[in-house]
Amino acid sequence: MYISEHEVRAVLTYESLIPAIRQALIDYSAGLVEQPARTILRAGNAEGYRNGWFAVMPVIAGDVIAVKTVTFYPGNAELGLDTHMAIVELLRRSTGEPLAVMDGRLITEMRTAAVSAVALDALARPGVRSLGILGSGVQARSHLEALRMVRPGLDEVQIWSRTPANAERLAAEAGGRAVPIQQAAAADVVLTVTSSPEPVLQGRWLQPQALVLAVGATGSSLRELDDEVMRSSVVVAESRSCAERESGDLRLSGVKVDAEIGGILANPALAPRGRRIVFKSVGMAIEDLTAARLVWQARAAMQTAKGGSALP
């Protein structure tokens, strides 16, 4: 059975996804998830940053197995195409039966924002009000929705983009303001969702207790954050091994991960306080499995409600 993006959008919500992702991150750090390193191949379609990549991400957790195949082509933005595209296959763990194949583009978009929302809720100081966003694309929009769901008090939104018209457009949609990058970087919470291959966020612009949610710069040779950001912060990640292997922000600055978010969620007393924090997200297969399982369950519930037999 194939589930299209339209069908995924109809049933996948942040209300269900955010708590499910929170538990998945706890399970991962507790050793309850079997997730090998993702395999990444360069597409060789172009030179420089337009060179895309193809990745395979398998995982086993709970009662299901999942594998996501995903592509990232930065040059697609110039063609009016999505830069990320993906497919997720879900299988029953007990028998190996295929349950569904579904479009993974929206799943990737939403689970990424949900992970950041979970991290924000666990790591941000009480009463944070201002959110600075560097970037104005798909992830900026999805993050706005997810972050405000866990911290509705984030009512001062300041947006910077390399393309000022895009920042103005998103600011109008979000009830925020388009501002210079230094002003966006001075917010309580700073979200970086750019495709820049070189640092765009400088540590000297940040508040001493800022929380940086670093989501963009996909790849071990790319980075959004300069050395001062990385070396002056407590670094928290979804996975120590994944981030130290795949994040250019870590690899090129020589910084190591101080803690996994799953461990902090399981024991909130471990959350760093009174310090600048970088939460580095690289994306994991367990997050895709979690979202795909929710989609599958919702589809099964709809089928039963219509009077048909439950989906196999």
Residue for token digits 């996804």?
A: 17
215 plus 97 within the same structural domain: no
24 plus 100 within the same structural domain: yes
The 3-state secondary structure of 46-102 reads CCHHHCCEEEEEEEEECCEEEEEEEEECHHHHHHCCCCEEEEEEEEECCCCCEEEEE
Q: What are the φ and ψ backbone dihedral angles of 167, each rounded to 5 degrees? A: -65, -40
Identity of the residue numbered 202: Q
213 plus 255 within the same structural domain: yes
**Separation of alpha carbons 222 and 201, rounded Å:** 13
162 plus 187 within the same structural domain: yes
* Number of domains within the chain: 2
pLDDT in tens, the chain (312 residues): 899 999 999 999 999 999 999 999 999 999 999 999 999 998 899 888 788 889 999 999 999 999 999 998 988 888 889 888 999 999 999 999 999 999 999 999 999 999 999 999 999 999 999 999 999 999 999 999 999 999 999 999 999 999 999 999 999 999 999 999 999 999 999 999 998 889 999 999 999 999 999 999 878 888 999 999 999 999 999 999 999 999 999 999 999 999 999 999 999 999 999 999 999 999 999 999 999 999 999 998 887 887 755 444
Q: Is residue 264 part of a domain?
A: yes
Counting beta carbons within 10 angstroms of the beta carbon of residue 281, is it exposed (0 to 12), middle (13 to 18) or buried (19 or more)? buried
**296-302, long-range: CB < 8 A, 24+ apart:** 296/64, 296/90, 296/99, 296/100, 296/102, 298/11, 298/12, 299/3, 299/7, 299/11, 299/100, 302/11
295 plus 271 within the same structural domain: no
Q: Is residue 43 part of a domain?
A: yes
292 plus 267 within the same structural domain: no
CATH number at residue 269: 3.40.50.720
266 plus 298 within the same structural domain: no
**Separation of alpha carbons 176 and 178, rounded Å:** 7
129 plus 277 within the same structural domain: yes
C-alpha of 182 from chain center: 24
Q: Is residue 117 part of a domain?
A: no
Residue 175 region by backbone torsions, left for phi larger than 0, else alpha for psi between -120 and 50, else beta: left
CATH number at residue 290: 3.30.1780.10
**Separation of alpha carbons 1 and 167, rounded Å:** 39
Q: Is residue 164 part of a domain?
A: yes
140 plus 259 within the same structural domain: yes
144 plus 81 within the same structural domain: no
262 plus 278 within the same structural domain: yes
CB 88 within 8 A of CB 68: yes
Q: What are the tens digits of pLDDT across the range 46-76?
A: 888 788 889 999 999 999 999 999 998 988 8
21 plus 132 within the same structural domain: no
Q: Which domain holds residue 297?
A: 2-107+286-305
Q: Is residue 119 part of a domain?
A: no
Q: Which residues of 170-189 are buried (b: 16+ CB within 10 A; e: fewer)?
A: bbeebebebbebebbbbbbb
Q: Is residue 115 part of a domain?
A: no
Q: Is residue 113 part of a domain?
A: no
Q: Is residue 61 part of a domain?
A: yes
